[in-house]
Each structure stands twice: as structure tokens, then as C-alpha cells.
């Protein structure tokens, strides 16, 4: 029921071989994802969160962080789902290469917990690996 936010394998940062300069969880003057403080029963296990307090609520279009590459490009990474921000991966701040080297494991960006009643519709709307690969192939062939 938790959602781990990562870079998609087709993201330009993973495809172009760019070097990541920095990652910034400061979204605006008044909003830092690093200030997200979750307290409650069993917060460490993430699978059994019952009483969360202090977790920032995210909409689908809520920015999670901004990633700057060495060529000056900046990429805003969005939540893409509604839910409570459980944690951000502070390890990528000191080791941004994790985003490229291990994007789906140690290089994750954040963990979000959708509302229980919305979690089923979210998972039903996800693409399978095969569907995702087909979309990528269509994009590549239309770009050529």
C-alpha cells in the first residue's frame, strides 16, 4: 500500500548520461520536504502506519524535489499520487549518483502513503512492465 517514488528508467537523467549536480528538497521559501516529520504508531515499518501526525499531504502535482544536472538543466520531480509523505531519501543528498546507479532501490526519492480508500484505484491505474515498455517503444519510433 505504500508507494516508492523513483525516477522512471526513461527519465532524461537516466538516459542521457548527465551528471547530477545536486538534489534540493526545498520546494519553496516556506516548504521543505526535509521538514516532513512523521510521528505515530509503527512509523519505522511503514507497512503498519495507523496514526500519522505531521506528515505533509501531497497531491498528484506536488513537487517532491528538484534535481540539477551539471549542464544546467533542472528537473522537478512530482509526487504523481495523492497521499502522505512518509519519508524522503536523504542519502541521495550526499550521494546523488544513487539516483542513476540504483534508481529503483537505494536511489529512491520518497515514500508516499496514499489514503486507504484510494490505494486500490491507484494500483489499478498503474502500467505493467510490458505496457510501459510498449509506450517507450512507441515514443522512440515517433521521435525518429
Query: Which pLDDT does position 41 carry in this prediction?
Result: 54
Query: Which pLDDT does position 37 carry in this prediction?
Result: 72
Contact at 8 Å (CB) between 116 and 1?
A: yes
Query: Which pLDDT does position 109 carry in this prediction?
Result: 96
Domain ranges of the chain: 1-26+50-140
Res 42 pLDDT > 70: no
For residues 27 and 135, what is the distance between their CA atoms, to the nearest angstrom?
A: 30
- For the chain, percent helix, then strand, then coil, each to nearest 5? 25, 25, 45
For residues 56 and 66, what is the distance between their CA atoms, to the nearest angstrom?
A: 17
Res 22 pLDDT > 60: yes
Query: Which pLDDT does position 74 carry in this prediction?
Result: 95
For residues 86 and 97, what is the distance between their CA atoms, to the nearest angstrom?
A: 23
Backbone angles phi, psi at 85, to 5 degrees: -75, 115
- What topology is assigned to 1-26+50-140 in CATH? OB fold (Dihydrolipoamide Acetyltransferase, E2P) (2.40.50)
For 6, what's the count of Cα atoms within 13 Å in the CB-facing half-sphere? 18
Averaged over 36-40, what is the pLDDT? 69
Amino acid at each position: 500500500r505504500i508507494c516508492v517514488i523513483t525516477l522512471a528508467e526513461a527519465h532524461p537523467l537516466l538516459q542521457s548520461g548527465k551528471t547530477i549536480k545536486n538534489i534540493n528538497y526545498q520546494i519553496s521559501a516556506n516548504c521543505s520536504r526535509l521538514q516532513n516529520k512523521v510521528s505515530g504508531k509503527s512509523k519505522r515499518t511503514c507497512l503498519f502506519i495507523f496514526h500519522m501526525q505531521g506528515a505533509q499531504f501531497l497531491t498528484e502535482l506536488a513537487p517532491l524535489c528538484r534535481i540539477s544536472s551539471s549542464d544546467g538543466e533542472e528537473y522537478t520531480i512530482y509526487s504523481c499520487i495523492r497521499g502522505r509523505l512518509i519519508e524522503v531519501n536523504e542519502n541521495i543528498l550526499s550521494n546523488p549518483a544513487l539516483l542513476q546507479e540504483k534508481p529503483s532501490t537505494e536511489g529512491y526519492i520518497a515514500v508516499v502513503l496514499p489514503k486507504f480508500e484510494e490505494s486500490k484505484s491507484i494500483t489499478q491505474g498503474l502500467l505493467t512492465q510490458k505496457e510501459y515498455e510498449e509506450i517507450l517503444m512507441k515514443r522512440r519510433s515517433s521521435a525518429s
